[in-house]
Amino acid sequence: MRLNLSAELENAKNLSEAAGIRVRVDREAEVDAHTGELLGQVLRETTTNILRHAQAGQVRVTLTESGITIVNDGAGEGPPPELRGLATLGERVADGGGELRVEQQDGRFLTAAAFPRGRSETAPRSGKGRR
Amino acid sequence: MTTVVLADDEALLRKALAALLPLEGEITVLAEAEDGRAAVRATLRHRPDVLVIDLEMPGVDGLEAVAEIRRALPEQVILMLTRHARPGVLRKALRLGVQGFVSKSAEPAHIVSVITTLHEGRRWIDPDVSALAIVDDCPLTDRELDVLRATGEGYSAADIATRLHLAEGTVRNYLSNAMQKTQTRTRHEAARYAREHDWL
């Protein structure tokens, strides 16, 4: 049975903290279930990237009614990590009427998915959703 | 060159890895171990750069062996192999200081590259393993589960406080946390959500 975004957020936090990464979560609003599913995918992919690649000490997750922003301080100076997973995710977010932004600057790595208010409700649903 | 100790109760897989890893990369296998206890002995004796250990083994399992090794060798680098990690296992392994987590269905070349990555001081977790851990794990603490269990049995917050020897305000906090994590509006909905996910 699918977990909701709130439970996944807690699991991602517990997992990161087990790896010695400090996590701060700011929940400014709740999101609807459909947007929540897409934001959950962004959260899973980003947490995976942080656990795998980054030597992050601190992660900050901000959840607003229009999206999610995840910033970590472990990006380092080298080239950005392999972003194939995020590219696929970007297409899915775009299908859902949103936009995925990925930035690396000054040792910080930012992933942000934004859905303009209301649009995710009317956007056509992808037929390839999780079962 | 990276030295390893291989610990896996499945002889075929262990011997296949022992034969293949040196062919795929700059790896020397110092010793093999067929269970958790032997893994502890071999690691303490041979001091490999990386211990490659199966999670699911009879007797002393991978996590118990890792905990014991960590106490003696806090800096030991460890790669854990898993076939089907149960919820919570990755979290426990990370807390024990395991740096790598790879599926047993991986190609030997991938395992070699992860061993090298870990030896360089970095971490590696197969993406499907970490994604599954986020989707499958239970987000509730033991105390939050206690109060939901009692809620499911029909007790009021005041009853629960008496039964668990807690202040009623504390019980209400646990219930409120549980409701927030499960995105439910009442404690009964939260208890049902937890029961439906087999957490109670």
**Tens digit of each residue's pLDDT (9 = 90 or more) over B57-92:** 888 889 999 999 999 999 999 999 988 777 788 999
Strand ranges (E), B38-92: 50-54, 77-82
pLDDT of residue A29: 82
8 Å CB contact of A12 and B134: yes
A61-114 residue pLDDT tens: 999 888 999 999 876 655 555 566 778 888 989 998 899 998 888 888 899 999
* Percent of chain A's residues with pLDDT above 90: 31
Residue with structure tokens 């509730």? B140
Question: Cα dist. B6→A70, B14, B53, B83 in Å?
Answer: 37, 7, 6, 16
Count CB pairs under 8 A between chains A and B. Answer: 73
pLDDT at A82: 58
Give A117's pLDDT tier (boundaries 50, 70, 90). Answer: low
Q: Count Cα atoms within 13 angstroms, Cβ side, for A121.
A: 6
Pairwise CB contact (< 8 Å): B94 & A12: no
Confidence at residue A120, expressed as pLDDT on a 0 to 100 scale: 44
B43 CB within 8 Å of a chain A CB: no
Question: What global pTM score does this model have?
Answer: 0.81
Taking CB atoms and an 8 Å cutoff, what residues of chain A touch B135? 2-3, 8, 11, 44
Residue A96: the pLDDT is 86
Can you tell me the ipTM of this complex?
A: 0.79
**High-pLDDT (> 70) share of chain A, %:** 79
* DSSP-derived 3-state class of residue A102: strand
Mean of the per-residue pLDDT values of chain A: 80
Helix (H, G, I), strand (E, B) or coil at B177: helix
The length of chain B is 200
Low-confidence ranges of chain B (pLDDT < 70): none
| Predicted confidence (pLDDT) at residue A126 exceeds the cutoff of 90 | no
Contact of B98 with B78, CB cutoff 8 Å: yes
- Whether the pLDDT of residue A123 is over 70: the answer is no
Q: What pLDDT is attached to residue A76?
A: 61
- Give the strands of the sheet with B27-33, arranged side by side: B27-33, B2-7, B50-54, B77-82, B100-103, B124-125
Q: Which of A1, A47, A52 is nearest residue B123 as measured by Cβ atoms?
A: A52
Whether B137 and A51 lie within 8 Å, measured CB to CB: no
- For B26-65, letters b (16+ CB in 10 Å) and e give ebebebbbbbbbbbbebbeeeebbbbbbbbbbeebbbbbb
Reply yes or no on whether the pLDDT at A122 is more than 50.
no
Which of chain A's residues have a Cβ under 8 Å away from the Cβ of B196? 1
Please provide the size of chain A in residues: 131
A37 pLDDT above the threshold of 70: yes
Residue A77: predicted pLDDT: 55
Structure tokens at B176: 């409120």
Query: Binning pLDDT at 50, 70 and 90, where does residue A36 land?
Result: confident
> Angle, nearest 10°, between helix axes A33-52 and A5-18?
10
Say whether pLDDT at A129 is over 50: no
Show the tokens assigned to A98.
């949103």
pLDDT at A124 over 80: no
Q: What are the structure tokens assigned to B87, written together? A: 């919820």
Which residues in B lie closer than 8 A to residue A48 (C-beta atoms)? 125, 127, 130-131
The residues near B195 (Cβ < 8 Å, ≥ 6 apart) are B152
Q: What is the pLDDT of residue A74?
A: 75
Question: What pLDDT does residue A119 have?
Answer: 45
CB of A37 less than 8 A from some CB of B: no
pLDDT over 50 (residue A130):
no
User: Which of chain B's residues have a Cβ under 8 Å away from the Cβ of A45?
Assistant: 127, 131
Cα–Cα dist B164/A109, whole Å:
44
The count of C-alpha atoms lying within 13 angstroms of the C-alpha of A80, restricted to the half-sphere facing its C-beta, is 15
CB contact (8 A) between residue B183 and residue A4: yes
Residue of B nearest to A42 (CA): B131
Side-chain half-sphere CA neighbours of B85 within 13 A: 31
B200 vs B78: CA distance, rounded Å = 32
Question: Any CB–CB contact under 8 A between B130 and chain A?
Answer: yes
- What is the b/e burial string over A12-31, where b = at least 16 CB atoms within 10 angstroms of the residue's CB? bbbbbebbebebeeeeeeeb
∠ CA A52-A54-A56, rounded to 5°: 120
